[in-house]
Amino acid sequence: MRARHTPGPWIAVGRWVEHPRDDIPDICTTDPAALDQDGRSDAECCANARLIAAAPELLKALREIVASADRGQAFFSTFLLLDARAAIAKATGGRL
């Protein structure tokens, strides 16, 4: 199945979510000033950007887990769990 979103990986650069290739436009910003809104701290905005940037890896890990479960596998491979843990760490800034 072909993704309808900008393919990953994505990276968080402060409040921005970008594609590492410069020829692909940025994904989004989490800067509330860009939406004429205030009230979020810089730390919260950067955490939101990290979560969004991890979306492609999180989606991939979840799809693999579901496919594994659909095949009747009760236990997941070490590599599948490593991918899932890496995606969670990227989304949370290193915490599981």
Give the tens place of pLDDT for each residue, 42-80. 999 999 999 999 999 999 888 888 888 788 776 667 778
Percent of the chain at pLDDT exceeding 70: 92
Q: What is the pLDDT of residue 96?
A: 59
Q: What do you get for the CA distance between the two ends of the chain, in Å?
A: 29
DSSP 3-state of 29: strand
Q: What is the pLDDT of residue 15?
A: 94
Mean pLDDT of 22-45: 89
Q: What is the pLDDT of residue 18?
A: 96
Judge contact between 28 and 52, C-beta under 8 A: yes
pTM for the structure as a whole: 0.81
Mean pLDDT of 23-35: 91
Residue that has been written with the tokens 């921005």 in this structure: 16
